[in-house]
């Protein structure tokens, strides 16, 4: 891995983040309503000129947008993400509360997707066209086609109404307080998200495996007298894992952005819910900084995937 | 006993609807230390023949449906995977057409050569030692450096040398080259040819060289098998084959190679028509629709291989009667 490769990717990542910052800032200013109307509602219309000026200067709205933007960005750089206007809690601590929930959910969903998707993909590929392949592919397609909230709702309906089992009802419990209960609370949402992932991972794994199998270098490997097992795992699997890594990385990035609907269904206080609530309450500071943090995570994950790529596929650096 | 005996080999595309032979009743012998050329147009079955020998035909849909392949007396048709694994790489090894795609892109050169040896129970240290040795033998400069490179960091010619080094690693008795220079520059072609000839002289390994280029054969091989439409139509030593071919196809093939002293205004000679499609093989001799000497019998019966002096050929019309 060359230094240049790393620096180039890092530069690209920072540029992306800056673009996201500009975008979020502009969009939030385009939405009708500012902090003052959000706080006071229709009563904001009754404010006197002096009161309004005082509030505007309190929120910094009297400054030109450019200096508002760089003021915000400067604060973010120094670690100050702003404050929630209603609760007075810092955005940093809101994120610190929500992030572990989202990360845990993302990791568990990802694990579910990989553990199910990779072996079934290979299993299907090595039985191409036969019954197990058709069955596996159909399940993959079903997994992809059903929206995750349908799976989530379905799981809740069955277990909660038929068996009275709904561990999420009591409110979210962090893993360090009660790991057992926490995992129970995470199980269904992770499955709901993981099934979709498993579907796409399985299909990508299968097609990549089949494609690599016909490459001439696989024949070379067999021609050297390597065992079938070695050809399958060392030669084919390693080459076929490259596209799987790509989609896994992208999906993981999305998951870290918070999964609004699933978090809503299972009452998990993750990033998705944080942003959704903040948008409803016009908490501009919260939305702005949280979205930037989400984007940063997405970019970091992609950067890591790129670096991992270069480790698996030596050709990446050249291109 | 010949090193490699291929007897009445038929390899077919096997489908539920029936099987279509793509090579038919192929007979070949390669003696210890001998160099055999297999020549023919694309689709004539030369690669399939040697891939069948290696047990590397894509299966399904291909399968050996008849005949025998004996390497050092051991029958390989119907041998189990374990046996084939033991034979591949150790007793015979193959160098393929396109070195750009025949090496594993995510594995270092050295590891690729070593893995062939460790698969045959060579110790790790010994394999590493031998890797440097063979890389040197095929004329790669600075083997310790090249060993740690990835395929994409090498030129086509260097990659083909690596393929040859890998094939040499376990000192097999038979090396099969499947158009190894087709994808390379002419100057590199010459170098590879020269290299193989030197290796052949120094190690005494038997070589089968598949090509569509008669010019290459003249400088390399002892004997030539000419294939057409999935059959061997003529086998002979290189000298008599070039001076007095016994099959009209061989004759036509040689006439179509432009010579240095041809009249430059004369049209290039080519064989009229196109090679037959495996699904629509003409009755009788496969070459008969394109043959200028064909007689009625050619369209009915496949001529048998008949011996004459140093070789054999399959044609109803003797050379003396060609006009």
pLDDT at residue number B273: 79
Angle, helices A91-125/A284-312, rounded to nearest 10 degrees? 40
CB pairs under 8 A between A and B: 76
The shortest C-alpha distance from A213 to chain B (Å) reads 10
Q: Do A216 and B150 touch (CB under 8 A)?
A: no
Count Cα neighbours of B292 within 13 Å in the Cβ-side half-sphere: 13
> How far apart are alpha carbons B182 and B185 in whole angstroms?
8
Q: What is the pLDDT of residues A141-153, one digit of tens each?
A: 888 888 888 888 8
So what's the pLDDT on residue B178? 93
Rounded Cα gap, residues B122 and B109, in angstroms: 17
**Mean pLDDT for the stretch of residues B133-152:** 93
Residue A318 contacts residue A6 (beta carbons within 8 Å): no
CB within 8 A of B239, min separation 6: which ones? Answer: none
Question: What pLDDT shows up at residue A319?
Answer: 45
CB B88 within 8 A of CB B54: yes
Helix (H, G, I), strand (E, B) or coil at B261: coil
Nearest chain B residue to A238 by CA distance is B106
Q: What is the mean pLDDT of residues A91-111?
A: 91
Closest CA to B209 of B70, B68, B89, B34: B34
Percent of chain B with pLDDT over 70: 97
CB B218 within 8 A of CB B242: yes
pLDDT tens digits for range A261-308: 888 888 889 898 898 888 888 788 888 888 888 888 888 888 888 888
Picking from A191-200, B207-216, B270-279, which range would have the lowest pLDDT averaged per residue? B270-279
Judge whether A243 and B185 are in contact, CB under 8 Å: no
User: What is the per-residue pLDDT for B13?
Assistant: 92
Pairwise CB contact (< 8 Å): B101 & A217: yes
What CATH class does B4-228 carry?
alpha beta
CA distance B183 to B96: 10
Confidence at residue B212, expressed as pLDDT on a 0 to 100 scale: 86
Model confidence at A36: pLDDT above 80: no
Q: Are A276 and A232 in contact (CB under 8 A)?
A: no
Cβ-Cβ contacts under 8 Å for B206 (sequence gap 6 or more): B3, B4, B30, B31, B32, B33, B34, B35, B36, B173, B174, B175
Residue A238: the pLDDT is 92
Nearest to B90 by CA among B110, B105, B72: B72
Helices (H) and strands (E) in chain B, counts: 10, 12
What are the pLDDT digits (tens) for B110-127? 999 999 999 999 999 999
pLDDT value of residue B260: 65
> What domains, with CATH codes, occur in chain A?
91-312 (1.10.3720.10)
- pLDDT per residue as tens digits for the range B261-293: 667 777 777 787 788 888 888 888 889 888 888
Instruction: Give yes or no for residue B246 having a pLDDT over 70.
Output: yes
Question: For chain B, what is the mean pLDDT?
Answer: 89
Nearest to A315 among B81, B86, B105 (CB): B105
Which residues on B lie below 8 Å from A216 (Cβ)?
A: 96-98, 101-102
Distance in angstroms (rounded) separating the CA atoms of residues B164 and B152: 17
Q: Nearest by CB to A225, from B85, B97, B106: name it.
A: B85
Q: End-to-end alpha-carbon separation of chain B, Å?
A: 40
Identify from B104, B116, B130, B177 which residue to disrupt to test chain A contact, counting A C-beta atoms within 10 A and taking the largest count.
Answer: B104
Say how far apart CA A43 and CA B135 lie, in whole Å.
84
Rg (CA), chain A: 24
Percentage, residues of chain A above pLDDT 90: 26
At A296 the pLDDT is: 87
Rounded to two decimals, the ipTM of the complex is 0.89
- Bridge-partner residues for B70, per DSSP? B5, B75
Query: What proportion of chain A, given as a percentage, has pLDDT over 70?
Result: 98
A62-81 confidence digits (pLDDT tens)? 788 888 888 888 888 888 88
Residue B163, pLDDT > 90, answer yes
**Mean pLDDT confidence for A213-218:** 93
> How far is A45 from A52, CA to CA, in rounded Å?
9
Q: Which phi and psi (to 5°) does residue B54 adopt?
A: -75, -10
E-strand ranges in chain B read 4-15, 18-30, 35-39, 62-71, 74-75, 92-95, 174-178, 206-211, 223-228, 231-237, 306-308, 311-313
């Amino acid at each position: 891995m060359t230094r240049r490769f790393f620096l180039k990717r890092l530069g690209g990542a920072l540029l992306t983040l800056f673009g996201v910052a500009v975008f979020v800032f502009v969009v939030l200013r385009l939405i009708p309503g500012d902090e003052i109307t959000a706080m006071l509602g229709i009563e904001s219309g009754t404010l006197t000129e002096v009161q309004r000026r005082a509030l505007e200067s309190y929120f910094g709205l009297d400054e030109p947008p450019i200096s508002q933007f760089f003021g915000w960005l400067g604060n973010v750089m120094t670690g100050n993400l702003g404050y929630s206007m209603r609760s007075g809690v810092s955005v940093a601590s809101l994120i610190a509360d929500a992030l572990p929930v989202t990360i845990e959910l993302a990791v568990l969903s990802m694990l579910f997707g990989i553990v199910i998707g990779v072996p079934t993909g290979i299993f299907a590929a090595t039985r191409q066209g036969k019954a197990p392949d058709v069955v596996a592919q159909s399940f993959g397609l079903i997994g992809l086609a059903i929206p995750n909230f349908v799976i989530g709702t379905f799981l809740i309906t069955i277990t909660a109404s038929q068996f009275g089992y709904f561990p999420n009802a009591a409110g979210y419990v962090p893993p360090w307080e009660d790991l057992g209960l926490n995992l129970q609370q995470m199980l269904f949402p992770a499955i709901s998200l993981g099934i979709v992932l498993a579907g796409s991972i399985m299909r990508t794994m299968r097609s990549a495996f089949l494609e690599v199998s016909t490459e001439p270098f696989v024949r070379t490997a067999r021609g050297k007298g390597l065992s079938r097992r070695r050809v399958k795992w060392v030669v084919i699997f390693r080459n076929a894992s490259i596209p799987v890594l790509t989609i896994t990385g992208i999906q993981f990035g999305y998951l870290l952005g918070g999964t609004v609907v699933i978090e809503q269904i299972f009452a998990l206080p993750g990033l998705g819910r944080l942003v959704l609530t903040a948008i409803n309450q016009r908490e501009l500071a919260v939305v702005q900084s949280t979205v930037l943090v989400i984007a940063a995570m997405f970019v970091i994950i992609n950067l890591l995937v790129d670096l991992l790529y270069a480790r698996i596929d030596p050709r990446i650096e050249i291109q | 006993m010949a090193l490699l005996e291929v007897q009445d080999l038929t390899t077919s595309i096997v489908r539920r609807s029936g099987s279509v032979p793509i090579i038919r009743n192929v007979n070949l012998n390669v003696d210890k230390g001998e160099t055999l050329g297999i020549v023919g147009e694309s689709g004539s079955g030369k690669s399939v023949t040697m891939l069948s020998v290696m047990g590397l035909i894509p299966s399904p849909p291909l399968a050996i449906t008849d005949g025998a392949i004996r390497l050092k007396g051991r029958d390989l048709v119907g041998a189990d995977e374990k046996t084939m694994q033991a034979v591949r790489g150790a007793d015979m090894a193959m160098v393929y057409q396109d070195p750009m795609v025949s090496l594993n892109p995510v594995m270092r050169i050295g590891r690729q050569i070593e893995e062939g040896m460790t698969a045959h129970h060579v110790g790790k240290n010994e394999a590493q030692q031998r890797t440097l040795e063979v890389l040197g033998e095929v004329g790669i400069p600075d083997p310790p450096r090249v060993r740690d490179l990835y395929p994409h960091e090498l030129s086509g010619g260097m990659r083909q040398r690596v393929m040859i080094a890998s094939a040499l690693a376990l000192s097999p008795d038979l090396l099969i080259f499947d158009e190894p220079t087709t994808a390379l520059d002419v100057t590199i072609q010459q170098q590879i040819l020269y290299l193989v000839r030197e290796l052949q002289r120094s190690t005494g390994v038997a070589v089968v060289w598949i090509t569509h280029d008669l010019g290459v054969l003249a400088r390399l091989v002892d004997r030539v098998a000419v294939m057409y439409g999935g059959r061997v139509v003529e086998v002979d030593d290189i000298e008599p084959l070039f001076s007095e071919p016994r099959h009209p196809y061989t004759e036509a093939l040689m006439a179509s190679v432009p010579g240095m002293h041809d009249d430059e205004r004369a049209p290039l000679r080519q064989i009229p028509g196109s090679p037959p499609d495996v699904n629509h093989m003409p009755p009788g001799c496969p070459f008969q629709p394109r043959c200028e000497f064909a007689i009625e019998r050619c369209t009915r019966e496949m001529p048998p291989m008949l011996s004459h002096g140093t070789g054999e050929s399959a044609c109803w019309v003797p050379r003396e009667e060609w006009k």
